[in-house]
Structure 1
Amino acid sequence: MSEGGSPSELPKGWALATIGDLIESSGVFTDGDWVESKDQDPTGDVRLVQLADVGDGWFRNRSNRSLTLDKSRELNCTSLAPGDVLIARMPDPLGRACLYPGGNRPAVTVVDVCIVRPSGEVDPRWLMHFVNSPQFRERMRPYESGSTRKRISRRNLAKVELPVPPVEEQRRIVIALDEQLSRLDAAVEAVEQSRARSRQLWSSILHQMTEGALSRNVRRPVTWERTGEVAAVQGGIQKQARRRPVENKFSFLRVANVPRGRLTLEEVHEIELFEGELERYRLESGDLLVVEGNGSPDQIGRAASWRGEIENCVHQNHLIRVRPGMRLRPEFLELAWNSPKVAQQLKKVASSTSGLHTLSTAKVKSVEIPVPSIEEQDALLDAVQQWRTKQLVAEAAQQAAFVRAAGLRRSLLAEAFAGRLVPQHSADEHADALLARIRAERESAGSTKPRRRSARRAPAQRKREPDASPVSDAPPQLRADVPALATATQPTLDLEIPS
């Protein structure tokens, strides 16, 4: 079946439809709810499912946000049911879908997540898999909006056509996909564990380097000194309206350009400099760029060396420049700075009573770093390089495995929704009959395709329409029309933080 998907190209017994065509009068096809920060209550009984909880085929218990039952009713929130298909209307990736597995308390979701509760004759696992397929992503692309960050509205999501197989074939597709994807997921998990072990090994190597244990040519213990005693520490340039690049513009590094231990220079901004500033702020090869602040304490003070990649380049004030003196090799400084022992110091000096985590030039100067002799640094760098070469080979193999797994997943889904993964049976009822029954049920109930109220209305103006399910204080129950396999085969990463 081509991406065009005309009816003549559909597999035998299949029919084209939209998500709305699969919803009975009692079903749901709606956005989540506009729940603001002021509406939330950490002690509430109703869980607020976040956009980050919706994975590409898996549900993640990542957030611990809640609101009270009274507030959810006041806001007219739509209650989630086990087996609901959740579709993310924002990346990454856009349009990813999973099944809501249920839980021990009521749950609602945010406005950037679309809730789909199809007819009992439609397998929700089939619908989830199709939304995650290359075919659906390709069909969805013309309806996306936004420039820097793509999104799709529910109105446009409803325009995307789906090739619907007969009900029995839907089930055969799901069984085949569940079997193949579960094996693929197990393989990916093994690679993830391998990558975690590689990172732990690298952290151990850096620790041994700072202790001088990697080379017999190092006198132990290694001397540690304050950074300000062996390097020049300086802040950067604050971005302001008057610095819009016009006449005297130069390349300008930001925090986004400085991951730990490397630079990403695909997108480098520019800034206007004034007289004398280039000489003062220009980066030199060997300078260490230290990130001043971050929302995650583990990322505070991450750093990477500048090696003169761009001529006449400066940096913003959220990056602190550490220029090594004569007693430090720049390569040794970068590795030592990103080592566990220095990272612990950075986390400690960056913390504050307000909960913010930031560094200053004074704090950076106070951080102690190992300072063996230049000859000893060279010996340690040689030893580290041997380990680094092996680690880079392992990382390349791991990345290749991830790429291959992603390709296999796309291929499996593409084959499934082109009608080539499982056999077609002539005895299967045509999908047109299924769609006709759903349409007749809606008409007999006096209902049209589900529409969505405006979630942005003030609470007093919100009216519950027939497609939305009011929040109940009863524990969620698995819908009778959802096979037990719906929650058994979907990966659920339980990362919820205990309250």
Structure 2
Amino acid sequence: MSRIDELLEEQAPNGVPHRMLGEVGEFFRGNGLQKSDLTEEGFPAIHYGQIHTIYGVSTEETKSFTTPDLARRLRRASSGDLIIATTSEDDAAVAKATAWVGSGEVAVSGDAFIFRHSLEPKYVSYFFNSERFQEQKTRHISGTKVRRISGDALGKIRIPVPPLEVQREIVRILDQFTQLEAELEAELEAELEARRAQYEFFAEALLATDSEVSRVNLGRVTSIARGASPRPIQKFMTTDQSGVPWIKIGDVPTDGKYITRTSQRVTLEGAEKSRYVNPGDFVLSNSMSFGRPYISKIRGCIHDGWLAISDFRATFDPNYLYYLLRSREVQSQFELKAGAGTVRNLNADIVRSVIVPVPSRERQEFIVAQLDKFNALTTDISIGLPAELKARRQQYEYYRDKLLSFKELAA
């Protein structure tokens, strides 16, 4: 019998009461703290956006501060309070929380709630991550693009309230498990990073060519054209399904290869003022993370932040061209030709001028087969280390949810 079972047998043999959060505490909305108010020293402060990006289950110190004069006018959390981000574009991140366990007070921004309660602080924070909480929370989220939850809605969510000694034992176990999980993930992440570096070395070696392989300007063996944007663009946007897919950088995953869908469409009139790409064509970002290639699986239009590459099949296997465009040899030419400065851009002439090798079709297909296998080991979530990372996280989540589940005390 575990220590938790022993405590429950002694202190709650008939079950654990489940209470609404509003019955065990109060919600206070933060106020007035903007990102521009954050400083590197002063009075401890937490902006709601930092709960999404910086803080975990709990924190005893802040990454940011604000001036004491402003802090006096702001809503402040006390040690033991939960600080909850109330908005996000992602439902899963709505009501992400951290327990403030530092000494003294901390200023809290708007779009965050302070939950002052009578429970073990980290027990409540772990509960806010649990499946039971997520299931209840989902019913109360509102809003369209920006999703949010109110204090009244949070107050209706039910939490199991075991004896305080049980709450502390659960926190002790989950803290240990979380630390072990973090150490294991760090080891796996390091191994995965090493595997990626090994892949990069292997890819560069395979893509390297000897002096007998012909080399040409990319523009001689492909068609390269810049995208175009109808102006003003909002005039040509449509929600009608007869519209043409409008390809934006946000439609492609960071490490993805293919463009399969778009979030927006343009009218047929707008499409005529833009540039079509067809399934199998490449699109290449010409600003921001410039030079990153993607293969379109749809017919759509690209704006002037993209370049289109087509008519290459007589010379290149599509998958070989994808790996070639990502190679250090080609990317270094992009870097050099794009020039110095904060904002660097590719244009069609630059991409046409890049010198590339043209090995035999058999050699291209061999390189693709080898790189596809190696790439799967580092990127496919169902293979190798990424799958192990995913399994570790699922194991932790299952164990946490089991610890936070109790037989309910009959009313």
TM-score (norm 1): 0.65
Match of 1:234 among 190, 201, 225: 225
Larger relative CO (CA 8 A, sep 6+): 1 or 2? 1
Displacement of 1:347 after TM fit? Answer: 5.2
Displacement of 1:234 after TM fit? Answer: 1.5
Displacement of 1:221 after TM fit? Answer: 8.8
CA distance in 1, matches of 2:336, 2:69: 41
2:43–2:107 Cα contact (<8 Å) kept: no
CA distance in 2, matches of 1:351, 1:113: 44
Displacement of 1:135 after TM fit? Answer: 0.9
1:290–1:302 Cα contact (<8 Å) kept: yes
CA distance in 2, matches of 1:265, 1:362: 28
Displacement of 1:248 after TM fit? Answer: 6.7
Match of 1:287 among 281, 284, 299: 281
- Alignment match, 2:326: 338
Q: Please say if 1:265 is aligned against 2:260.
A: yes
CA distance in 2, matches of 1:357, 1:114: 42
Of Structure 1 and Structure 2, the greater strand share is in 2
1:283–1:314 Cα contact (<8 Å) kept: yes
Q: Please say if 1:15 is aligned against 2:32.
A: no
Match of 2:369 among 385, 388, 394: 385
Change (3 A) 1:124 1:268: closer
Give the match's secondary structure for 2:57.
Answer: coil
Displacement of 1:137 after TM fit? Answer: 1.2
Unmatched segments (≥5 aa) in structure 2: 1-11
CA distance in 2, matches of 1:337, 1:37: 39
Displacement of 1:148 after TM fit? Answer: 3.7
Displacement of 1:109 after TM fit? Answer: 3.9
2:280–2:295 Cα contact (<8 Å) kept: yes
1:41–1:68 Cα contact (<8 Å) kept: yes
% identical equivalent positions: 20
- Alignment match, 1:111: 110
State which drifts further: 126-135 or 377-386.
377-386
- Alignment match, 1:305: 295
CA distance in 2, matches of 1:98, 1:225: 57
What is the aligned length?
A: 386
- The 5 Å alignment of 1:87-486 reads 87-89=84-86, 90=88, 91=90, 92-100=92-100, 102=102, 108-119=107-118, 122-212=119-209, 219-220=210-211, 227-238=218-229, 240-245=233-238, 249-259=243-253, 260-267=255-262, 269-274=264-269, 277=272, 281-294=275-288, 299-306=289-296, 309-310=297-298, 312-323=299-310, 325=312, 326-346=314-334, 353=341, 355-356=342-343, 358-365=345-352, 368-369=354-355, 371-375=356-360, 378-393=362-377, 395=380, 396-397=382-383, 398-419=385-406
Change (3 A) 1:252 1:181: same
CA distance in 1, matches of 2:52, 2:214: 45
CA distance in 2, matches of 1:313, 1:419: 53
Q: Please say if 1:32 is aligned against 2:63.
A: no
Deviations 1:251-270 (A, max 9, x none): 33222233345124244543
Change (3 A) 1:418 1:243: same
1:211–1:220 Cα contact (<8 Å) kept: no
Unmatched segments (≥5 aa) in structure 1: 1-9, 213-218, 425-429, 433-499
Of Structure 1 and Structure 2, the greater helix share is in 2
CA distance in 1, matches of 2:21, 2:131: 17
CA distance in 1, matches of 2:45, 2:213: 52
- Alignment match, 2:7: none
Give the match's secondary structure for 1:175.
Answer: helix
RMSD of aligned Cα (Å)? 3.9
CA distance in 2, matches of 1:348, 1:152: 49
Change (3 A) 1:166 1:68: same
One-letter identity of the residue aligned with 2:223: A
